[in-house]
Amino acid sequence: MPVLALLSAVFVVGVEQTLQWKYGATGIIGLLLLTIGIKAKSPAVSSIGAVVLAILVSGPAL
């Protein structure tokens, strides 16, 4: 069980660092809103986070 928790923590930190490096603080805020919305079972907050991340990812294509 501790190995699974360690691997999950490493994955989360890796995703956060990649977002910070590629998309800056806005990417972290979007990921934070998405995570909080999912954990709090709030569709509005998770949707806002998902939209922020989608805009960041598709920004250069627009």
Reported as a single tens digit per residue, the pLDDT across 20-48 is 777 788 888 888 898 899 899 999 999 99
Mean pLDDT (whole number) for 5-10: 84
CA–CA separation, 39 and 34 (whole Å): 9
Q: What is the CA radius of gyration of the chain?
A: 13
Q: How high is the pLDDT of residue 1?
A: 65
Tell me the backbone φ, ψ of residue 21, rounded to 5 degrees. Answer: -70, -40
Q: Model-level pTM greater than 0.75?
A: no
N- to C-terminal Cα separation, the chain: 44
Instruction: Supply the angle between the helices 2-39 and 43-58 in degrees, to the nearest 10.
Output: 100
With 80 as the cut, is the pLDDT of residue 53 above it?
yes
What pLDDT score was predicted for residue 15? 79
Q: What is the reported pLDDT for 30?
A: 87
